[in-house]
Amino acid sequence: MTSIGASAFEYCINLTSIIIPSNVSFMGSWTFSGCSGLTSIISLIENPFPVIGKESEFTTFDVDIFNKVILYVPKGTLDKYKETEGWKDFVNIKENTTDGIDTPMLIQAEDCPVYDLQGRRMADYQPLHPGIYVKDGRKFVVK
């Protein structure tokens, strides 16, 4: 995936976090507009490209997202993001200080059950190993 088209995730209100892969080089208008449940965005992009900022009516992210969501960027790229059109509109930008080891996702008790692709329910509070899982009728990937 190298681009995320206009309105691709518009009004995905149950979307709480996103990971933008390192090879993405374009995001269109209203890509994440109306995603009121977002709390964090993890960008793996080392050299950020311009996105449509909060001053435009065709913005990539809602004004609320720019103001409230934490944008995590690769270590050593904070200044690049703070200087790049659109990305610089985020109020909360933090460097992701991972040491190369991904933290396994833990299943919370209040969450819906998680299943593997064979339909087996995964145990609560157990880390998920890399793979594809289904939660609340949607697939997700753990790397």
> What are 36-94's pLDDT values in tens digits?
999 999 999 999 999 999 999 999 999 999 999 999 999 999 999 999 999 999 999 99
Q: Find the Cα–Cα–Cα–Cα dihedral 9, 14, 15, 16, rounded to 10°.
A: 160
Banded model confidence at residue 125, pLDDT cuts 50, 70, 90: low
What token pair was written down for 88?
Answer: 């610089």
User: Can you give the C-alpha Rg of the chain in angstroms?
Assistant: 16
pTM value > 0.85: no
pLDDT exceeds 50 at position 102: no
* Calpha distance 106→30 (Å, rounded): 31
CA angle 47, 27, 24 (to 5 degrees): 45
Q: Which of 27-31, 73-77, 85-89, 122-126 has the lowest mean pLDDT?
A: 122-126
